[in-house]
Homo-oligomer: A and B are copies of this chain.
Amino acid sequence: MSGRLAVVGLGPGDARFLTADAQDTLRQAEAVYGYGPYLDRVPARPGQSRHASDNREELARAGAALDHAASGARVAMVSGGDPGVFAMAAAICEAIDAGPPAWRGVDLAIIPGVTAMLAVAARAGAPLGHDFCAISLSDNLKPWALIERRLAAAADAGFVIALYNPVSKARPTQLVAAFGTLGRHLPATTPVIFGRAVGREGERLAFTDLAHAGAEPADMATLIIVGSEATRIVTRPGLSPLVYTPRAAVEAGR
């Protein structure tokens, strides 16, 4: 008797970025699992159980939700942004891959959402208007040398670069190291956008360039977009600048 596990993308935070599908799924769930601060964004409903857990306990949280769903319940797991981008969907798939056969029988649905780089890009103009990539700077799960290699390859090939998980208490200096690597592959004037808590309370957007990016404050709620050599800035009197990457590419300089 297998139930359903829906992994629901909450988007950037504010309810206005929720899709109708996400709202309906949360409304119908008998149990909701998630990292505490994400769970706090979901209104409590009578008869619906809530299961908050810590940020570092992704696999344990996945297992608990899968067990609950496998028992026949309609379970929702909330995820910030889009569940498929550096979030809970991969953790759930990993758990199913390594877990008991009953978990493979769970009807798994991933409900997509607006991931942070789309929200930040929307506020800034259209920096992701041409080919781009997304890189997590967390080296909990991969060697730093690999991160550096990917940064260099992306910059050389002319991708705009979205940086997720830029800093944490355990790695306060890696973001500056990443800008150093990018600075060896891109002009110092390359536009850089810092978007903190975009789409929720405390939103802050800052525009700088690669030469000065290391001096900008950043935390785990910050998403950073580093332009390519093609990225341009349009100044507007009385309005914030527009940062965009044209649809037409010129061959990159290297």
Contact = CB atoms under 8 A, between A and B. Distances in A.
A94 B21 contact: no
Interface stretch (A43-51, A63-71, A237-245): A237-245
Tally of this chain's copies: 2
A56 interface: no
Query: For A115, A126, A136, which residue has the most chain B Cβ atoms within 10 angstroms?
Result: A126
How many A residues are at the interface, by size bracket? 35 or more
Contacts of A91: 247
A232 B97 contact: yes
* Residue from A20, A108, A112, A153 with most neighbouring chain B CB atoms (10 Å): A112
A237 B232 CA distance: 50
A237 B134 contact: no
Contacts of A179: none
Interface in A18-49: 18-21, 24
Nearest to A242: B93
A15 to B, nearest CB: 7
A156 B94 CA distance: 24
Interface stretch (A78-86, A169-177, A201-209, A213-221): A78-86
Given A16-B20, A16-B21, A134-B132, A244 B89 contact: yes
A151 to B, nearest CB: 9
A246 B19 contact: no
Contacts of A24: 16
B16 A93 contact: no
A231 to B, nearest CB: 10
Contacts of A132: 133-134
A238 B97 CA distance: 16
A178 interface: no
A129 B242 contact: no
Contacts of A127: 84
B134 A239 contact: no
A94 B246 contact: yes
Contact of A247 (B83, B90, B118, B125): B90
A142 to B, nearest CB: 4
Nearest to A107: B239
A131 B133 contact: yes
Given A17-B19, A94-B246, A97-B244, 5 more contacts: A16-B21, A113-B118, A131-B136, A153-B153, A153-B156
